[in-house]
Amino acid sequence: MAEKILKYLSENEEVNTLKLAEKFQEDHQKIIGFLKSIQANGDLVIAEPVSQKNIELTEEGKLVANQGSHEANIFNVVPKEGISQADLMKLPNAKVGFSKAMSNGWVLVDKIVNPPLVKRKVPEIKDSVQEHLKLVDAGKSSELTEKDKAEYKKRKLIQESLIKSFVLKKGPDFSLTLNKLETDLTSEMLANGTWKTSKFKEYNFDALGVPPSSGFLHPLLKVRAEFRQIFLEMGFSEMPTNNYIESSFWNFDALFQPQQHPARDAHDTFFISDPQFSYKFPESYVEKVKTVHSKGGYGSQGYGYDWKLEEAQKNLLRTHTTAVSSRMLYQLGQQKEFKPIKLFSIDRVFRNETLDATHLAEFHQVEGVIADYHLSLGDLIGVFSEFFKKLGITELEFKPAYNPYTEPSMEIFCFHPGLKKWIEIGNSGIFRPEMLSPMGLPKDVTVIAWGLSLERPTMIKYGFNNIRDLVGPKVDLEMVQRSPICRLTK
Ligand code: FB9
């Protein structure tokens, strides 16, 4: 095609690309593409950009050109005996059609009869609107008067567009053939000297790179990476959470959660049938836990029930990563000398809950824990406020809450600027002495902690309403490839 264009230009002084598109029955944009490939070969042609106003039919104009004007259609449906206005108005575009038919003097309203009837005023009509629009469709809008064009523009039957094209003339390096453009400078060219006469294709620095066919991170893992980065920036170290299966002892008893607590019921927890029990626990620590549950201690009256080892031995899918926090805090309490510590975890937890659009039987819990001397509720609020600030959340409110292992406890809420409403964003508290003292932590050491999920912020960030569009067997894997880079700050 490029050489056809050059040949045409060799026989004509100049030509517009629109004319070439018509002559070669080719799309105009393709002609422009061939022009670009000719220009890449050097100054074979001179291309002068030109714009011309073009009149074309609107969608409604195309309808009228095909099916007749609204006024003509109204005239054609009016029977000799007349028709009520109410019946006439049931037709498409009847209001416009009736009004134009009246102003054209094609129909009248006979008010002598009741109800008044619309009747023909003339025996026949000429639908000049349809004829004119057919001319426009055939590219002959120049045959219309300016008055008609103004009328049809006002009725939104035609519209003006600007068509950009090029007027081509022979350039200084005009040729009927295109030299092959080299794309690479090769060692052969350098050796045999052809590089001196070869023509090289220009680099297109705007060309997009080939999209990587490598792997893509799931949105949840992108948000996890963002949360992990925030914790690391704040000086937290990650806890080893690579055990989904946990004993009831570390998941509940070590947290001073009584064995009768409803959360320990099979309706809320997934218990493991094989291996059903764990047997290895630090013996002296188990005794302290048993005592603090059944008789109290450390200033607490305890729960006063008959604590059973068999209950604590039951294996389960951990219901929170706080089970890992309890293991870590026990290890800290066993150290010869206490050292303050900041820990975090982000991993899967499992709850035998009612499933719905935003809840599955598992989710990723995010937890931050700090152990130091004399930490207060103010320290807790300060730390998680800093954490949430790094997510772009600054307007926080708190509500007293209950957790078996923290006192006081608070639910955390924020006004989400995107959702324009208050939403719950997590839970927090100060671990109870009944949990910390049996671990061997010094009396003046307090441990503050807060938690949230990974799924809720991810769903909000990526605009998911149903958790199953984010995780599970029905996830559209292309969504993983499409999801943009995750940046959680404002
Ligand atoms: O994540 C939650 N909401 C949330 C978090 C961030 C967020 O970011 C958006 C960008 C702005 C948006 C929303 N929630 C906690 C609140 C609710 O979604 C709640 O309905 C669901 N909760 C889960 C548990 O529900 C059974 C989220 C999960 C949760 C709740 C509490 C903890 C951890 C996860 C905790 C804790 C804790 C408390 C004290 C000491 C140690 C740990």
Q: Which residues contact 174 (CB under 8 A, 6 or more apart)?
A: 6, 9, 10, 44, 45
Q: Are 91 and 229 in a shared domain?
A: no
In 3-state terms, what secondary structure has residue 204?
coil
Q: Are 277 and 426 in a shared domain?
A: yes
Q: Are 306 and 414 in a shared domain?
A: yes
Strand intervals (E) in 417-483 = 421-431, 445-453
Cα gap 42→57, rounded to integer Å: 39
Cα gap 207→336, rounded to integer Å: 63
CA dihedral angle for residue 415, residue 420, residue 423, residue 425, rounded to 10 degrees: -60
Q: Take atom 21 of ligand 1 and give the residue whose Cα is closest.
A: 453
The DSSP bridge partners found for residue 400 are 410
The last residue of a domain, from among 102, 126, 155? 155
Q: Are 337 and 230 in a shared domain?
A: yes
User: Is 297 a member of any domain?
Assistant: yes
The DSSP bridge partners found for residue 15 are 168
184 CA distance to ligand 1 middle (Å): 57
pLDDT, tens digit only, all 490 positions of the chain:
899 999 999 999 999 999 999 999 999 999 999 999 899 888 899 999 999 888 999 999 999 999 999 999 999 999 988 999 889 998 888 999 999 999 999 999 998 888 889 999 999 999 999 999 999 999 899 899 999 999 999 999 999 988 899 999 999 989 998 877 888 899 999 999 999 988 888 888 888 877 777 788 899 999 999 999 999 999 999 999 999 999 999 999 999 999 999 989 888 999 999 999 999 999 999 999 999 999 999 999 999 999 999 999 999 999 999 999 999 999 999 999 999 999 999 999 999 988 888 889 999 999 999 999 999 999 999 999 999 999 989 999 999 999 999 999 999 999 988 888 999 999 999 999 999 999 999 999 999 999 999 999 999 998 899 999 999 988 888 888 888 778 777 5
Question: For residue 182, which of 41, 22, 354 has the smallest C-alpha distance?
Answer: 41
Which sign does the torsion angle of CA 24, 30, 36, 37 carry? Answer: negative
What is the number of alpha carbons within 13 Å of residue 438 lying toward its C-beta?
28
The last residue of a domain, from among 102, 134, 155? 155
8 A C-beta contact, residue 142 and residue 53: no
pLDDT score at 480: 85
Domain count for the chain, please give it.
2
Question: For residue 180, which of 2, 41, 44, 43 has the smallest C-alpha distance?
Answer: 41
Q: What is the chain's Cα-based Rg?
A: 40
Which sign does the torsion angle of CA 233, 237, 240, 246 carry? Answer: negative
pLDDT score at 60: 93
User: Is 127 a member of any domain?
Assistant: yes
Q: Take atom 10 of ligand 1 and give the residue whose Cα is closest.
A: 457
CATH classification of the domain holding 263: 3.30.930.10
Q: Are 106 and 225 in a shared domain?
A: no
239 CA distance to ligand 1 middle (Å): 19
User: At 478, which helix (H) or strand (E)?
Assistant: helix 477-482
User: Is 21 a member of any domain?
Assistant: no
428 CA distance to ligand 1 middle (Å): 9
Q: Take atom 19 of ligand 1 and give the residue whose Cα is closest.
A: 424
Q: What is the pTM of this model?
A: 0.63
Q: Are 135 and 225 in a shared domain?
A: no
Q: Are 281 and 423 in a shared domain?
A: yes
440, amino acid identity? G
Cα gap 290→438, rounded to integer Å: 10
Cα gap 456→426, rounded to integer Å: 10
The per-residue DSSP string of 48-106 comes to EEEEEEEEEE-HHHHHHHHH--HHHHHHHH--TT-EEHHHHTTSTTHHHHHHHHHHTTS
99 CA distance to ligand 1 middle (Å): 63
Q: Are 314 and 424 in a shared domain?
A: yes
Q: Take atom 18 of ligand 1 and give the residue whose Cα is closest.
A: 456
pLDDT score at 198: 87
Q: Which residues contact 314 (CB under 8 A, 6 or more apart)?
A: 247, 248, 271, 272, 276, 277
Cα gap 362→352, rounded to integer Å: 8
392 CA distance to ligand 1 middle (Å): 16
8 A C-beta contact, residue 202 and residue 36: no
User: Is 189 a member of any domain?
Assistant: no
Residues in contact with ligand 1 by the CB-under-6-Å rule are 322, 365, 367, 391, 393, 403, 406, 416, 423-429, 449-453, 456-457, 460
Q: Are 138 and 263 in a shared domain?
A: no
User: Is 488 a member of any domain?
Assistant: no
User: Is 381 a member of any domain?
Assistant: yes
User: Is 6 a member of any domain?
Assistant: no
371 CA distance to ligand 1 middle (Å): 21
Q: Take atom 38 of ligand 1 and give the residue whose Cα is closest.
A: 428
Annotate 37-65 with b (16+ C-beta within 10 A) or e (fewer).
ebeebbebbebeeeeeeebebbebbebbb
Q: How many CB atoms are located within 10 Å of the residue 464 CB?
A: 18
pLDDT score at 416: 87
The last residue of a domain, from among 119, 136, 155? 155
Q: Take atom 3 of ligand 1 and give the residue whose Cα is closest.
A: 425
pLDDT score at 243: 96
Q: Are 420 and 314 in a shared domain?
A: yes
CATH classification of the domain holding 86: 1.10.10.2330
Give the domain extent around 89. Answer: 59-155
Helix, strand and coil percent figures for the chain, each rounded to 5? 35, 25, 40
Q: Take atom 9 of ligand 1 and give the residue whose Cα is closest.
A: 457
The DSSP bridge partners found for residue 350 are 362
User: Is 50 a member of any domain?
Assistant: no
Query: Which stretches of 263-405 are DSSP H helices?
Result: 283-294, 309-313, 322-333, 377-389
Q: Are 132 and 248 in a shared domain?
A: no
- Look-up: residue for tokens 């705007």? 206
Question: For residue 182, which of 203, 202, 194, 200 has the smallest C-alpha distance?
Answer: 200
Question: For residue 38, which of 178, 203, 181, 183 has the smallest C-alpha distance?
Answer: 178
Burial of 420 by CB count in 10 Å (0-12 exposed, 13-18 middle, 19+ buried)?
exposed
Q: Are 364 and 462 in a shared domain?
A: yes
